[in-house]
Amino acid sequence: MKVRGLMTRSAFALVAILWTILLAGQPALAARPTPVKEATVIGTGGAAASVDPIATSVAIDTLRRGGNAVDAAVAAAAALGVVEPFSCGLGGGGFMVIYSARDGRVFTLDGRETAPSAFRADSFIDPSTGLPISFAEGVTSGLGVGVPGTPRLWEQALARYGTIPLAAALAPSIGIARSGFEVDQTFHDQVASNQDRFKDFSSTRDLYLPGGGAPAVGSIFRNPDLARTYQTLAGHGMDAFYGGDVANAILTSVQHPPLVPGATRNVRPGLMTAGDLASYQAISRAPTDIHYRGYEIFSMGPPSSGGSTVGEALKILEGFDLGSLPRAQALYLMLEASKLAYADRNQYLADPDFVSVPLQGLLSDTYAAQRRALIGATALPVPVAPGDPSPFNSSTTHLTVSDRFGNVVSYTFTIEQIGGSGIVVPGHGFLLNNELTDFNFVTGTANSPAGGKRPRSSMSPTIVLKDGKPILALGSPGGASIITTVLQMLLERLDLGRTLPAAVATARISQRNSSTTQAEPAFFDTPERLALEAVGETFSSTPEIGAATGIELLSSGMVLAAAEPVRRGGGSAMVEVPQR
């Protein structure tokens, strides 16, 4: 059902046409200035939070012009494809969770990449050895590239829940890509960390290593190829991505990766065909929906494992009065619940169009009680075995947006590794994903590859309702640690009394049914570390976990937007009318 804002579709279409005319006549526009970056803002009207201030400002500009939260989310996502291209963009996929104020319901869109139809369970097995190829070879290859889903998701989101045409949503990003933006430390570092891969592909080298190295901090970066691609899509719709020149360029890049002459890297070609691109569809799916201490928590179902794994862990924890316990004890219970939920995730979660996922059992109170009974006074030895939910049975970057109409969007999207496959589509300015590496490389598991199958994901875009109204939306990138990041933030905010900004900023720990719990450096200086080690938990250090954003709708009618203060260089939060 269409969710309307204040500005009419025809008015936005006129704006889009004017933008296109302006941009076509001005090839040397001044670079877009970087807005002031703030991690926490309170005010009224709509709100947005992302990892980048330019993208967040695009969302707020869209809201101020009368667009709704879905319009703003798509516009900001397109901007992130320009300024945050190593984490997201046209060449990837994701999941969007939407609260529609008009319907009083939560909807989800699945824009996850799919395996080409020719993919088989043994496509990652090297025929010369009979063993799986190395993960690194899967990452930097055409073989690891899934059929992108982001363009169809944007199209479906606007058509079903937005108020503006695609051309209007893409217009700001066309300007940013053409005129350029100032390179920050994060952008520079992400290119530098991929330099060995990027230099082996002519198209990627020419775009991101024009002088032989990463663009300097403070320099102006432009991507005219991406601007032209966005203009093509603005004028002809997303069919122009899944067919025609753009599709042909994608297929050539996947089947014949653009290696620099003399490069020695073994880059395996992919199996994608024109039919795979032409047949891709973004899918409406039912969200996961659990009740937890008076809240109703919605997230993404399979093929994402995010909603189910966060949900199962919360159902296990609901049997403990976490708010009355010492912080160390509450964190201990969270780690133990995470072990149990991840064991079930790894066993049962996959694309529901290919396997039967026992989702109702995994999220049931009775199964949670059975799993909860395994938690004792000392840490469970890992790996924990999966349970059997069948007797109880009847599935990056993150952007969060709300609007003055009461709509809320929680959207996580990605190209997988930072830098994706490393392959820029020649002439079109965007990186291709390596999402098929999210499949298990071996045969015979729920998440083994198959033609047309969507690999299991951990993305967990989440919206929390109280008394039928949204009060909180949040999410994070971070691969498999997305789930633990979202789980910890929910516990910090709903159980342990922390504000949303504090829940975002606090030191994170991530237990995924593995021999050690990953912990950020700041956690090692806390008293909780010693208390947890005393009951058998062990920790290994990792520089950072996730890069969250969130929005809280306050009882006073105000809205609070929160982004990372430090992680990934700090994020950006804005509201339509800030409170001074």
Final residue belonging to a domain, choices 438, 468, 489: 438
- Percentage above 70 pLDDT, the chain: 95
Q: What is the DSSP letter of 576?
A: E
pLDDT (mean) for 14-38: 60
- Kindly state whether residues 335 and 262 are assigned to the same domain: no
Q: What is the pLDDT of residues 95-152, one digit of tens each?
A: 999 999 999 999 999 999 999 999 999 999 999 999 999 999 999 999 999 999 999 9
Q: Tell me if 460 is assigned to some domain.
A: yes
Domain boundary among 438, 470, 491: 438
Q: Which amino acid is at 394?
A: S
Question: How buried is residue 211: exposed, middle or buried, by Cβ count under 10 Å (0-12/13-18/19+)?
Answer: exposed
How many domains would you assign to the chain?
A: 2
* Alpha carbon 434 to its chain's center: 14
21, pLDDT greater than 60: no
pLDDT at 1: 44
Q: Which of 56, 114, 150, 396 is catalytic?
A: 396
Give the CATH number of the domain where residue 369 resides.
Answer: 1.10.246.130
Determine the average pLDDT of the residues in 292-317: 96
Confidence of residue 33 (pLDDT cuts 50, 70, 90): confident
* Residue 412 is among the residues annotated as catalytic for this protein: no
Q: Give 71's pLDDT tier (boundaries 50, 70, 90).
A: very high
Contact 465, 458 (CB under 8 A): no
Give residue-wise pLDDT tens across range 418-463: 999 999 999 999 999 999 999 999 999 999 999 999 999 999 999 9
Residues 536 and 555 in one domain: yes
Q: Can you give the pLDDT at residue 207? A: 98
The sign of the CA dihedral 254, 260, 261, 264 is negative
Average pLDDT, the chain: 93
Residues 215 and 310 in one domain: no
- Determine, yes or no, domain membership for 402: no
pLDDT at 25: 40
Q: Which residues contact 51 (CB under 8 A, 6 or more apart)?
A: 80, 84, 87, 397, 398, 547, 549, 563, 564, 568, 569, 571, 572
Answer yes or no: is pLDDT of 334 > 70. Answer: yes
Q: What is the mean pLDDT of residues 178-184?
A: 96
Q: Any idea which of 9-13, 72-76, 271-275 has the lowest mean pLDDT?
A: 9-13
* pLDDT the model gives residue 18: 52
Q: Are 338 and 386 within 8 A, CB to CB?
A: no
Backbone angles phi, psi at 237, to 5 degrees: 80, 175
The model's pLDDT over 502-529, given as tens digits with 9 standing for 90+, comes to 999 999 999 999 999 999 999 999 999 9
Q: Determine, yes or no, domain membership for 450.
A: no
Place of tokens 């204040």: 6
In the numeric block, the tokens 């397109």 are attached to 78
Q: Which residue has the tokens 């969770």?
A: 97
Query: Distance (Å, rounded) from C-alpha 229 to C-alpha 90?
Result: 10
- Long-range contacts at 183-189 (CB < 8 A, ≥ 24 apart): 183/215, 183/216, 183/217, 183/218, 183/219, 183/220, 183/221, 184/34, 184/217, 184/569, 185/217, 185/569, 186/568, 186/569, 187/83, 187/84, 187/86, 187/215, 187/221, 188/214, 188/215, 188/216, 188/217, 189/214
Q: Are residues 164 and 255 in the same domain?
A: yes
pLDDT of residue 36: 84
Helix axes 53-64, 69-83, angle to 10 degrees: 150
Residue 24 has pLDDT above 90, yes or no: no
Domain residues for the domain of 563 are 284-397+456-578
What pLDDT does 23 receive? Answer: 42
Q: How far apart are CA 562 and CA 50, in angstroms?
A: 9
Q: Are residues 120 and 244 in the same domain?
A: yes
pLDDT score, position 30: 76
**pLDDT-based confidence at 31, cuts 50/70/90?**
confident
344 and 246 part of one domain: no
Pairing of strands 517-519, 539-541: parallel
Residue 561 in domain: yes
pLDDT per residue over 73-83, tens digit each?
999 999 999 99
